[in-house]
A and B are shown apart, each in its own frame.
Chain A
Amino acid sequence: MRRALPIVVVLVVLLAAIAVVNPFFLEPAGFLGFLKRAAPLVILAAGQYFVIVSGEFDLSVGSLVTAEVVIAARLIDGDESATWPVLALLIVIGLLVGLVNGVVTTKLRVPSFIVTLGMLLVLTGAVFLWTGGAPRGALSEGFRMFGRGGLGPLPWSVLILLAMGAAAIWLTRTDFGRTLIAVGDNERAAALSGVRVDRAKIFAFMLSGLAAAVAAVLLGGFAGVSAQAGQGLEFSAITAVVLGGVALGGGRGSVPAALAGAFTLEALFTLLNLYGISGALESTVQGVIIIAAVAAGAVRLPWKFTPRRGDAHAAS
């Protein structure tokens, strides 16, 4: 938890700044609204955490979210009874995409940056090829409920967020979680000490795929069918994880910090909006803050991609 402290302090400062301009933010409804809005990004960040801490990247999550929303709309086509089977299928697709990413990365030894970049292109192309260029069909009310509705005053997305967050934290406490950090820290050493490196990494990618599937359900539910539901989310998710002090290159980081990073990013967007910084300059401020936060947090961050097992210099 100590690692999460600095980012939590930043988060609290941002939240306080939001509350100053918008007192409604302090009321339960206002705060829950913020959590609900942040949920997809936070869940994606949790998934991305596992991939990054094992020393890899997942650039395919944004396109996976879009693909899942478009697939859901076409398959459900407004039919309530199709909701649950399609939800199950979405989860399977998410896991499957993660599996392919993981297997190609580990077994074929292609850098994950390239694998997931390729996956991004394939997913975007394939899904729109299938639907003829633009989304078809419609989501059912049952599907929309997860992003729009709630259990009493509690939005479903906040409950799902809590469940996913708790599961992610639990996973890091298991052998798998520790193994993953060891793999990201020193792949060669981990392999020599008997860790099944490939299996751990493949599992990490599948978690990221799963997170993308859940995020897609929430986003599709919240805002409906859109051809650009997941646009740019891969960079936001990676940025969020890095803001939480998780080292790109692997071996260092914690889930609570990564989640806090995602909340911080969302709070930053909200704040920039509230203070009315023009749409254009918003990205400039965002860029400066991201660099400053990472620079301040980096005592000795490795700036290079971790050597892969296949590379000769991994030995040295």
Chain B
Amino acid sequence: MNLPVRARRPTGRPTRSGAAHGGLAARLREPTQVVFLALLGLVAVGYVLVALDGGQFLTMESVVGIQQRSAALGIVAIGQTLVILAGSLDLSVAYLISLASLVAAETMAGQDGNILPAVAAVLAVSMLVGLVNGLIITRLRVHAFIATLGVALVIKGVVDHLYDGPAGKVPESFQVLGYSRIGPVPVSAMLWAGVAVAAWFLLSRTRLGYRIYAVGGNEEVARLSGIRTGRVIVVTHVLCSVCAGIAGLLLAARLGAGAPTVGTDGGYDLESIAAVVLGGTALAGGKGGVAGTVGGVLLLAVLDTIFNQLEVNSFVKDVVRGVVIVIAVAVYARRGTRRPA
């Protein structure tokens, strides 16, 4: 355990030790691997527990259920990963999801022909919200916590003022997104996978990705090395909001209508942040990645499915979830901080 363990991704700060890219043993200790190992372990434990309870854990329905249940959170969490990597965070996603579902369902109004305009409208609204978040944080220099909380309140007010219940109608053809599946893989999970791959490509193969890690790792150093840090942060917020918008579209497809409370009922704001840190991304930014987040979301979903199968009540779930999140991050912190003296 003497090997320094750190993110494999470029971090924008000078590498302190030549062993940054350690061997296989070191790699296995990275949060991403830890979370997937924990996931495997949890599936095994779940299998045994459910079998003891007289049930079957990995049925077709529960596998589909895990994916359906995690797709929306997964997509939001990918966006949240981007902002957190850049050292920011976004508390407005839950209300934005509600707003997006309403914009989608209202624009579609049950007509097949309106699907494209509706998707465009949702993306436009989401980008605008992301832009506002980003500009308040970078130009007005308001802490991301307060800026996105404030924007969340603004959206909440608008949504509550305009709507007092589910509204709009999503045509059958668009509900394919929410309900259809190819074999054991729902369309929604494919959408999630697509968003994840795009984010992975962005982070690991583009200059922007490199800059996101650099800004999150150390903004000052990033700025001195010629990166327009403000612009990077605004872009990550726009991307995060777009992810929330996509999640809103997906939920509208599931519900067949827009709902003013779908985002907050799902607790997508705090839960997406929890999933991101569960996946090993540092809340301070600069360290982590999309793969870990996918693992974190799946971990929460498998946990949910086990609880569902065992019919554990929701209060136990809260306790276990809280403990799991804290322990996971404590484990990463221990591993992440060992370095040569």
Contact = CB atoms under 8 A, between A and B. Distances in A.
B136 A316 contact: no
Interface string A285-316: 11110110011001111111111101111001
B217 A313 contact: yes
Interface stretch (A24-32, A117-125, A166-174, A185-193): A117-125
B88 interface: yes
B284 A307 contact: yes
A248 B145 contact: yes
A298 B220 contact: no
Contacts of A295: 136, 140-142
Contacts of A247: 143
B218 A113 contact: no
By size class, the interface of chain A is 35 or more
Given A122-B323, A124-B318, A242-B143, A287 B221 contact: no
Contacts of A124: 315, 318
A110 interface: yes
A284 interface: yes
A288 B143 contact: no
Q: Please report whether the interface of chain A is mostly helix, strand, loop or mixed according to DSSP.
A: helix
Contacts of B330: 104, 108-110
A274 interface: no
A141 interface: no
A298 B150 CA distance: 15
A99 B285 CA distance: 26
A126 B142 contact: no
A234 B87 CA distance: 22
Contact of B283 (A300, A305, A316): A305
Interface stretch (A7-15, A156-164, A275-283): A275-283
Given A109-B337, A111-B329, A290-B149, A303 B161 contact: no
B315 A129 contact: yes
B154 interface: yes
Contact of A313 (B161, B218, B323): B218
Given A111-B329, A114-B274, A305-B87, A298 B160 contact: no
B318 A313 contact: no
B341 interface: no
Contacts of A110: 326, 329-330, 333
Interface in A89-133: 104, 108-111, 113-115, 117-122, 124-126, 128-129, 133
Contacts of B16: 312
A312 B16 CA distance: 9
A279 B160 CA distance: 9
A140 B51 CA distance: 48
Interface in B119-176: 136-138, 140-147, 149-154, 156-158, 160-161
B336 interface: yes
Contacts of B337: 109, 310
Contacts of A304: 87-88, 144, 219, 284-285
B81 to A, nearest CB: 15
A128 B138 CA distance: 41
B334 to A, nearest CB: 7
B286 interface: yes
A121 B321 contact: yes
A57 B149 CA distance: 14
A235 interface: yes
B325 interface: yes
Contact of B147 (A284, A285, A291, A308): A291
B283 A111 contact: yes
Contacts of A62: none
B195 interface: no
A294 B142 contact: yes
Contacts of A120: 322
Contacts of A285: 157
Contacts of B277: 111, 114
B193 interface: no
A140 B193 CA distance: 56
A125 B146 contact: no
A298 B136 CA distance: 11
A294 B317 CA distance: 37
A285 B322 CA distance: 33
B223 interface: no
Contacts of A312: 6, 13, 16, 339
A287 B319 contact: no
Interface string A25-63: 000000000000000000000000000000001000000
Contact of B282 (A282, A302, A311): A311
A112 to B, nearest CB: 9
A182 B16 CA distance: 27
B316 interface: yes
B325 A284 contact: no
Interface in A256-290: 278-288, 290
B77 to A, nearest CB: 15
A288 B154 contact: yes
Would you list the 8 A-B pairs with minimal beta carbon distance, nearest first? A284-B157, A287-B153, A125-B318, A121-B322, A280-B160, A295-B140, A118-B326, A125-B319
14 contacts: A109-B334, A114-B326, A118-B326, A125-B314, A125-B315, A126-B315, A248-B143, A283-B154, A287-B152, A290-B149, A291-B150, A294-B150, A295-B136, A308-B284
Given A248-B146, A278-B161, A283-B153, 5 more contacts: A118-B326, A119-B322, A122-B318, A242-B146, A304-B88
